[in-house]
Structure 1
């Protein structure tokens, strides 16, 4: 199964998000992380991601006669290449966006359902801004966003550090005004 196809499911996308940043987790850890998803479903999707090469076994140990595996993300397989994205049809993009929004909605719901969730304290944000940009300004904005985000993507888990889901979404909502 191709990476795009593997990532094209909200539960698999949430598993990938959970393992970002060099995290290693067991299936039990992931079941706990996704409380709204059944254990059998988490196991099935971990198996698909593992067989597809998106996840790899980081460690194994015997626990009460069974083998417990710790999984980690293979960064080189956990995203869709620019070339693959360029080959997507309009319907492929529609489906991918729907899956991303479904995963985002589920993650937000799981966050709100956690004991002690406090969106104000946690600085939760979901604002949308409509901005006018020329093609050059758009490229500049994307470069600035990447420059701000990329260094943070390599940060490891550490005491005092919580994992956040950052989901920049950018698409045109209207055409340029006609020349007067």
Structure 2
């Protein structure tokens, strides 16, 4: 299993990031992944799936023979696919910038796939984005993150009841230049 310092490299590789998006909350076969990621060669896809399995981020839920080959069904593993605060603190600025830009590029790719979909107009009820400033302490932020986790946990798995799958993305970016009235001691 990968050490925590290596986790960001494992998760935030663009192909692995896309694989995790496909698996999130449901079991998928390697054939499902090949269909969902047609621009990724089979050998490349299998190599990245293996890296995610080795890191404990993906797990093999089932293996079965299909026309002489082994078809794997994958699910999320024991290790949550998330880069935590200590790992973020340990990153150099250039590395943090690179990972954030990878995140943004994949977010943009997801949005493009949505806009280009045949049923994009029907799905517009499920799209939203915005930005709002929050005024928080580290304790407030922890409470917000815990509350958000509690709120979304029941929605993470496909219950098979016809709910629309959406990709929920978050980014917290501290404002290095807040207005003078909001600065401590102002």
Q: Tell me the TM-score normalised to structure 2 length.
A: 0.78
Do the aligned residues in 2 keep the contact of 1:35 with 1:110 (CA within 8 Å)? no
- 1:52 deviates by 3.0
**C-alpha RMSD over aligned residues:** 2.6
The aligned counterpart of 1:162 is 164
Other structure's SS at 1:76 match: coil
- 1:88 deviates by 1.9
**Cα distance in structure 1, aligned partners of 2:80 and 2:150:** 22
Q: Confirm or deny that 1:58 pairs with 2:61.
A: yes
Residue number among 83, 95, 100 corresponding to 2:103 in the alignment: 100
Do the aligned residues in 1 keep the contact of 2:126 with 2:166 (CA within 8 Å)? no
- In structure 2, runs of 5+ residues without a counterpart are none
Off by >6 Å, runs of 4+ in structure 1 = none
Q: Tell me the TM-score normalised to structure 1 length.
A: 0.81
**Cα distance in structure 2, aligned partners of 1:147 and 1:55:** 22
The aligned counterpart of 1:26 is 29
**Cα distance in structure 2, aligned partners of 1:142 and 1:177:** 27
Do the aligned residues in 2 keep the contact of 1:14 with 1:107 (CA within 8 Å)? no
**Cα distance in structure 2, aligned partners of 1:64 and 1:52:** 29
- 1:100 deviates by 0.9
- In structure 1, runs of 5+ residues without a counterpart are none
The aligned counterpart of 2:72 is 69
**Cα distance in structure 1, aligned partners of 2:123 and 2:56:** 38
Q: Give deviations 1:13-59, integer Å, cap 9, x for gaps.
A: 121122122x2111110122234444443233212222333222111
